[in-house]
Structure 1
Amino acid sequence: MDEEHTRSTVVVVTWRGRAHIAECLDALAVQRPHRLLVVDNASDDGTARVLAEHPSNPEVLRLSRNLGYAGGLSRALELVETPYFAWLNDDARPEPGWLDTSESELDAAPLAAAAACLLRTADGEVSAGVRLTETGHGADTREPGSVFGFCGGAALLRTTALRAVGGVPAAFFCYYEDTDTSWRLRLAGHGIVPTDASCAHSLGASSEHGSARFHRWNERNRLLMLLRCAPAGTAVRELLRFAAITLALPPRRLRGVRVPRAANFRVALRIRVLGEVLARIPANLRARRAVTARSVVDRELVWRRWAGR
């Protein structure tokens, strides 16, 4: 590694990534000079051996337990000393020039704190970043003009800006850590730029989309993110909406009304989500005050600018 020209630390977080992480490391081997740090979330499937035998000889931070994607990134941030900090899924394969393009875009946009990358799936889906819906969800978008935030699967951030807004929300475990961070960067007055830096992404290789665990983390973290970052009325409205839908599901089923089969319409899962959110309200109100103290842009202005795009 050429220390003089190393401006980015690329952090790959893995958990049981034996089947795909070598392809990620192969793709990183042809990028411009960088520090490579792999966070191994206590994998027990032979991932450690793949890392030890890979010719790129990655630096490995092996955790004693699985802290999730958000927790792994948070631990890695403590060790990052370069100006830029790249987030990368272990099932992403950056195309040649990915890091160079990402760095160049941030160099050219001094008021931006993050560069959103293009993520391409095998079935042709493309995400240019995350848009903010009218219900406060973070959703993939193809349109650069609607990019509110970056997708955590592949992104480059300014290290100092990330630390200044409170770092990575480790307690989220996984999902919405990217949209929450984008919110906090926007509130602190930073821009987030879409780029042509591209990665192939095997969506769901690390966690099964549509599973009960996926929906639990997804639903919980959206609500926690809104409590931390969104206008108060929006956060309360969405929490009450979630509770109302939960209460309405049993009588709808009794009346024979068709209810979606997706896991996030299971009453037990939704009750668990509500319990976890309510238990975390004191901590998240403290986090909200900290976000407010670091903000230079009003939450309502950010919401009106981006929600529903």
Structure 2
Amino acid sequence: MTSSPADITAIVVAYDSAEVLPACLAALAGEGVRVLVVDNASGDDSAAVADRCGARVLRNASNQGYGRANNRGARAAETAFILIVNPDLELGQGAVAALLSAAEAYPDAAAFAPRLMEPSGRVFLQPRSLLSPPHLNRAREVVLPEGDACLPFLSGACLLLRREVFLALGGFDPGIFLFYEDDDLCRRLREAGHALVHVDGAEARHARGRSSAPSMTRRFTARWHLAWSQYHVARKYGMPLPGLARIAENAFKTVGYGLILNRDKMMAHAGSVAGALAARAGRSALARQGLDEAEVMS
């Protein structure tokens, strides 16, 4: 049976994303897919913007994090496929058709990603990961696939998934608030016997880092979670934990940037130190955000 855009629900997790949502949602509408925006308690009018653009909106009472919000969207969807889309991403014309064609051509695959173009014109490809076997992390230069290609990891910025497979695996790890949730999902998909396909005929433009309005506090929080999530996935898969030398290096940089009054970088490195120390002490990322450990089901 041939699939169509009607078989896809695009899930867009928004958090203070009002500035970038209109272009993202317009591109999805142009591809003919229904859109579900999960608003993570934005302080701006993201939910209202999504509503005006014709999207179905689910409002979280608090910021649940990227993966948990996507899980809620996946449970609310009723289509065979879900399309995870960052709010600062715009699908190119024909991208959905190309992704669906790949899904039909490769029935053993469960995840499909388009070619991600950055504003500079560079193609973003994720050939390496903390969760990748060492022999796949040796390449120093990114070699772009010629045509469709199976890859060990795909970016969660835009990802077509078979909904049934995604839910059967438990979706994104609900213990992660931010970072490495896509790497973790890709590893679990591969371990369950599913291929991951980079679809050369599909293209999307990704602004990277513009999903939420920037601030020093958010940079601290982002780097806190990046450091914490590295420890989380390392423990999850029995990998060596990041060393104390990295904490010391970030602490040194925190002091150094503080001395030259570069508050932005000072906060970033301070966040890395705090997140790593919290992880080593056994604190959870969800507790830091004031969230319950249980997955939100409503």
Task: Calculate the TM-score normalised by the size of structure 2.
Answer: 0.76
The number of residues matched between the two structures is 263
Shift of 1:95: 0.5
When residues 158 and 264 of structure 1 are mapped into structure 2, their CA distance, relative to the original with a 3 A threshold, is farther
Partner of 2:196: 192
Name structure 1 gaps, 5 residues minimum. Answer: 255-260, 284-309
Paired letter, 2:66: Y
Residue 224 of structure 1: which of 215, 232, 257 is its match?
Answer: 232
1:155 to partner: Cα distance = 0.8
CA contact (8 A) 2:222 2:271 kept: no
In structure 1, the residue matched to 2:21 is 21
- Tell me the SS of whatever aligns to 1:162: helix
Q: Is the contact made by 2:119 and 2:206 (CA closer than 8 Å) also made in structure 1?
A: yes
Q: Describe the shift of the 1:108–1:249 C-alpha distance in structure 2 as closer, same or farther (beyond 3 A).
A: closer
User: Aligned with 2:57: secondary structure?
Assistant: strand
Measure, in 2, the Cα distance between the counterparts of 1:100 and 1:64: 35
Secondary structure at the residue paired with 1:113?
strand
The one-letter amino acid paired with 2:222 is: F
Of 55, 60, 66 in structure 2, the residue corresponding to residue 58 of structure 1 is 55
1:20 alignment partner AA: V
Partners of 2:35 and 2:271 in 1: how far apart? 41
In the alignment, the residues of structure 2 paired with residue 23 and residue 253 of structure 1 have an alpha-carbon distance, to the nearest angstrom, of: 37
Offset at 1:222? 2.4
The list of structure 1 runs, each at least 4 consecutive aligned residues, that deviate by more than 3 angstroms after superposition, is: 133-137, 139-142, 207-210, 247-254, 261-269
> For residue 166 of structure 1, what is the aligned residue in structure 2?
170
TM normalised by structure 1 equals 0.74
Give the corresponding residue for 2:260: none
Mapped to 1, the partners of 2:79 and 2:49 lie a distance apart of 26
The Cα shift of 1:141 comes to 5.0
Q: Which runs of 5+ in 2 are unaligned?
A: 256-263, 287-298
Higher alpha-carbon deviation: 245-254 or 126-135 = 245-254
CA contact (8 A) 2:113 2:155 kept: yes
Give the aligned partner of residue 244 of structure 2. 243
Counterpart contact for 1:41–1:62, Cα < 8 Å: yes
- Coordinate RMSD, CA, aligned: 3.4
Answer yes or no: is the 8 Å Cα contact 2:128–2:136 preserved in 1.
no
| Structure 1 pair 39–246 and aligned structure 2 pair: CA distance change class (3 A) | same
Q: Which of 85, 88, 108 lines up with 2:105 in the alignment?
A: 108
Q: Residue 128 of structure 2 aligns to a residue in which SS?
A: strand
Of all paired residues, the percent bearing the same amino acid is 27
What is the 5 A alignment of 1:198-209? 198-207=203-212, 208=214
Q: Distance in 2 between the 1:204 and 1:40 partners?
A: 17
Distance 1:142 1:221, change over 3 A: farther
Correspondence for 2:40: 41
